[in-house]
């Protein structure tokens, strides 16, 4: 059996790599090893938990309030050391985090072939999102396999002179993850009270918005982009305040990311406000349940933009640009930036214009069919022999 190191560091990598790891477990020729950098600690453990996974090797590299340069250096040297010890035949990285770029660089130095899951996403604006656009652009030339989620992303790679024979359109494994969780949700009969109890959601919010007979609408919010730290987050919080003041029958549920740069303004501006329910990051199973139950989503998350079209939930994307144009083309996602006036105007439209809402809530699948992990396994089995 040839070893394949499946590298994860943060929440979205855990969610999107879990199906790939589980699929490689089925291989008769390849043996996956789940190697965590621990760039995220609690949120990685929580995300892997939804799939019943724990890392085979955990480098535990997270430091509170970590800086990009230190984290990059720690991941580079620690992953390099692990690769020397484990001697895998290949490594897989996913997405655009510091873990992805630094682990890829380590593998390049160790002369181990790299497969990049979710390759080819681009805004072509280096600072938006930052540092993700840089990470994925620096990673692509290092890779032996580029697993592009869509034809759009494959074309980006080809245009950058990445050899066509290295590029494969596989879909995005986030859809494999979503379908896996939807099956579990279907068979487990989870109800609002369960989700509320697990996530310390108040009795009042639960009764008003999550109970089986409630028809009241709530907006699900997430946010964490570095380029929005400071003024951007303050603007987002002020927009949320105005929304709940203007629409007293609409709730806001906001699982707050653990990054201190996010928590500070959110706590200072929103904590204790009736109508805004701030909770800790939510496990993936419960988060999928909450996305399904929400009226729409206000977020700057990459993964949420990919999941929403399959769930038929409109997303107002609090960013100026996106590397995921497919969701915008499908009509599900709309870029609204962080200007409070624009956010409030767009929220008003979704709340007040039912025709427009229905158009944007149509189910679409631009990101895959749930077979991404199988395609990746087959390509690796063929090429690694």
Alpha-carbon distance of 169 to 152, in angstroms, equals 9
286 is a catalytic site residue:
no
Residues 81-100 that bind ligand UD1 (CB under 6 A): 96-98
66 binds ligand UD1 (CB under 6 A): yes
Q: Pick the stretch among 22-30, 70-78, 162-170, 301-309 that binds ligand UDP (CB under 6 A).
A: 301-309
168 is a catalytic site residue:
no
Residues 196-235 that bind ligand UD1 (CB under 6 A): 224
The count of C-alpha atoms lying within 13 angstroms of the C-alpha of 196, restricted to the half-sphere facing its C-beta, is 17
Q: Pick the stretch among 16-24, 34-42, 114-122, 189-197 that binds ligand UD1 (CB under 6 A).
A: 34-42
Phi, psi of 30 (to 5 degrees): -115, 145
31 binds ligand UD1 (CB under 6 A): no
Cβ contacts of 70 within 8 Å, gap of 6 or more: 63
284 binds, among ligand UDP, ligand UD1, none (CB under 5 to 8 A by kind): ligand UDP
Give all strands of the β-sheet with 333-335 in edge-to-edge order.
276-279, 251-255, 218-222, 296-299, 315-317, 333-335
Cβ count within 10 A of residue 42: 12
Q: Is 255 helix (H, G, I), strand (E, B) or coil?
A: strand
Alpha-carbon distance of 157 to 164, in angstroms, equals 8
Task: Tell me if 99 sits within 8 A of 37, measured CB to CB.
Answer: yes
11 binds ligand UDP (CB under 6 A): yes
309 binds ligand UDP (CB under 6 A): no
Which residue number, 68 or 328, has a Cβ lying nearer to ligand UD1?
68
Residues 345-384 that bind ligand UD1 (CB under 6 A): none
Distance of closest approach, residue 43 Cβ to ligand UD1, in angstroms: 3
**What distance lies between CA 334 and its chain's CA centroid?**
17
Instruction: Give me the catalytic one of 122, 154, 257, 375.
Output: 257
Which positions touch ligand UD1 (CB under 6 A)?
Answer: 10-12, 39-43, 62-66, 68, 71, 96-98, 131-132, 224, 258-260
Catalytic residues: 96, 118, 132, 224, 226, 257
């Amino acid at each position: 059996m040839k070893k394949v190191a499946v590298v994860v560091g943060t929440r979205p990598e855990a969610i999107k790599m879990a199906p790939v790891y589980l699929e490689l477990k089925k291989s008769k020729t390849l043996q996956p090893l789940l190697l965590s950098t621990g760039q995220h600690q609690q949120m990685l453990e929580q995300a892997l938990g939804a799939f019943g996974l724990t890392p085979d090797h955990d480098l535990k590299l997270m430091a509170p309030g970590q800086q990009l340069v230190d984290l990059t250096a720690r991941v580079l040297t620690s992953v390099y050391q692990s690769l020397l010890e484990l001697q895998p035949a290949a490594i897989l990285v996913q997405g655009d985090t510091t873990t992805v770029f630094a682990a890829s660089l380590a593998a390049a130095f160790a002369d181990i072939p790299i497969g990049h899951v979710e390759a080819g996403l681009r805004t072509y604006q280096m600072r938006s999102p930052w540092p993700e656009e840089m990470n994925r652009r620096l990673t692509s030339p290092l890779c032996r396999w580029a697993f592009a989620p869509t034809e759009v992303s494959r074309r980006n790679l080809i245009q950058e002179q990445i050899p066509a024979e290295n590029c494969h359109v596989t879909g995005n494994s986030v859809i494999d993850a979503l379908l896996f969780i939807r099956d579990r949700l279907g068979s487990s009969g989870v109800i609002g009270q369960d989700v509320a109890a697990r996530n310390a959601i108040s009795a009042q919010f639960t009764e008003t918005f999550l109970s089986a007979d409630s028809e009241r609408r709530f907006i699900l919010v997430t946010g964490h982009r570095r380029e929005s730290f400071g003024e951007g987050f303050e603007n987002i919080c002020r927009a949320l305040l105005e929304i709940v003041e203007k629409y007293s029958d609409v709730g806001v549920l906001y699982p707050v990311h653990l990054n201190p740069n996010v928590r500070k303004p959110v706590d200072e501006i929103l904590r204790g406000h009736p109508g805004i329910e701030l909770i800790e990051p939510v496990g993936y199973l419960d988060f999928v349940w909450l996305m399904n139950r929400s009226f729409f989503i206000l977020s700057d998350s990459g993964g949420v933009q990919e999941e929403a079209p399959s769930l038929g939930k409109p997303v107002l994307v609090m960013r100026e640009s996106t590397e995921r144009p497919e969701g915008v083309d499908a009509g599900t996602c709309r870029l609204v930036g962080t200007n409070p006036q624009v956010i409030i105007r767009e929220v008003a439209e979704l709340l007040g214009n039912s025709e427009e809402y229905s158009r944007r809530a149509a189910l679409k699948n631009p990101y895959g069919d749930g077979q991404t992990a199988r395609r990746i396994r087959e390509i690796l089995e063929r090429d690694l022999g």
